[in-house]
Amino acid sequence: MKLNKPVASEALLGVAIVIALILLINPFNILMTSALTLTLIMILAVTIIAFAVFIWREKPRDEREALHGLKAGHVSYFIGGGVLVIAIIDQSIRHSLDHWLAIALGSMVITKLLVSAWIRRK
């Protein structure tokens, strides 16, 4: 099976984003200087922007590809929301809730509602 170029570049960008996030979390207790941290943040920002450009330019060639894109979006939203809810519950139990988790989940839900209403209105 031949892997087409856009899928391969999206996969590479996705892997780069995950690696940058893992390094920023610093699970291996690597010495993180401020210069290294800023470099990782810059790499993360650039790869996320590039990934967003690929997703934004994505145009399905037929109904099957459009359906696959919709399913991928639904699963991604579900998994992202679930992870945020689990993180909010965990941090709430520990009495150290990071407000950015709630902001991220709230913005996901509000965006989903607004876009759904906008699409139904069209």
Reduced to 3 states (helix: H, G, I; strand: E, B; else coil), residue 31 is coil
Q: What is the pTM of this model?
A: 0.67
pLDDT tens digits, residue range 83-106? 999 999 999 998 888 889 898 999
Residue whose token pair is 């209403």: 117
Residues 1 and 54 in one domain: yes
Domain range for 18: 1-58
- Are residues 17 and 51 in contact, defined by beta-carbon separation less than 8 angstroms? yes
Give the whole-angstrom CA distance, residue 101 versus residue 107: 10
Residues 73 and 115 in one domain: yes
User: In total, how many domains does the chain have?
Assistant: 2
Residue 101 has which token pair?
């988790």
Residues 104 and 83 in one domain: yes
Last residue of a domain, one of 58, 73, 99: 58
- 1 pLDDT band, cuts 50/70/90, is very low
Residues 70 and 121 in one domain: yes
Quick one: what percent of the chain has pLDDT higher than 70? 90
